[in-house]
Amino acid sequence: MRILFIGDVMGRSGRDALTAHLPGLRKNLRADVTIVNAENAAHGIGLNPEICKDLYALGTDVITTGNHVWDQREIISYIDRDPKLLRPINFPKGTPGKGFNVHALPDGRKILVANAMARIFMDPMDDPFAAMNELLNTYHLGATVNAIFLDFHGEATSEKMAMGHYLDGRISALVGTHTHAPTADVQIFNGGTAYQSDAGMTGDYDSVIGVKKEVPIARFVRKMPTDRMSPAEGEATVCGLFVETDDKTGLAKNAGAVRIGGRLKPEMPDF
């Protein structure tokens, strides 16, 4: 199975870049499944039902989120009606929505896509390690599903890497999101799980993590309240991860970073 993941879509520039590049990426990489993290797609804070519809129209199969999932209030009443839109699985019981989805391909193969949120330097949450362990007691790689993909949304690289090793051999791939900076550590662990600490954002990199530079700089320099932060509006770089799995075992065979457009040096998998 060939899985394309796109990192945090940031504001209009990120959405525009995705519109321009995603159809071509899906075709050129021969992607079977496309997963997009869109928690910052609506002016940099949250997402809304219209953006979800637009992403599906571009060929997105599953949408993941993170700590900004509820920033646009209309998503609260919408998320239960859209099983392809995920919120982190380790929100408290009773929270609207679900943290995973089993997506079926036209040929019958199935991929379990999960979304979890880390806890270091993040909002207090239920244990993501326990939540994933419970999920994997029900769904088994290479048996009940052909692939398992986890978007682990968090700040600390150590926590993401620990989760990757904890799940090594039990899932196809783990990709980190949230920091908006792509990492150079794409690899396949010893047990066969593909890993990247952070896919990076799909947004304008002439910015401070996707935000217009002036306001965050002023906050750091003056330590005083400033104007509201808003997304940078220059040409965005689409960042992501591409993974190819073995259909029998569900483990990763190849993994590579994806970068196209904007300021960052392009990178494209060659498998």
Catalytic residues: 68
d(CA 204, CA 251): 33
Count how many residues are written for the chain: 271
d(CA 21, CA 16): 9
d(CA 103, CA 30): 17
Return the axis-axis angle of helices 128-136 and 157-167, rounded to nearest 10°: 20
Q: Tell me, what DSSP letter sits at residue 17?
A: H
User: Helix, strand, or coil here: 131?
Assistant: helix
Which contiguous run of DSSP H or E holds residue 143?
none
Cα angle vertex 127, ends 121, 133, to 5°? 135
Tokens linked to 188: 């396949």
CA 68 to chain centre: 13
Place of tokens 């990192």: 7
Q: Identify the CA nearest to 152 among candidates 259, 237, 135.
A: 135
For 141, residues 6+ apart whose C-beta sits below 8 A from its C-beta are 147, 148, 170, 171, 172, 249, 250, 251
Q: Which segments of 60-193 are extended strands (E)?
A: 62-64, 100-104, 110-117, 147-153, 173-177, 187-188
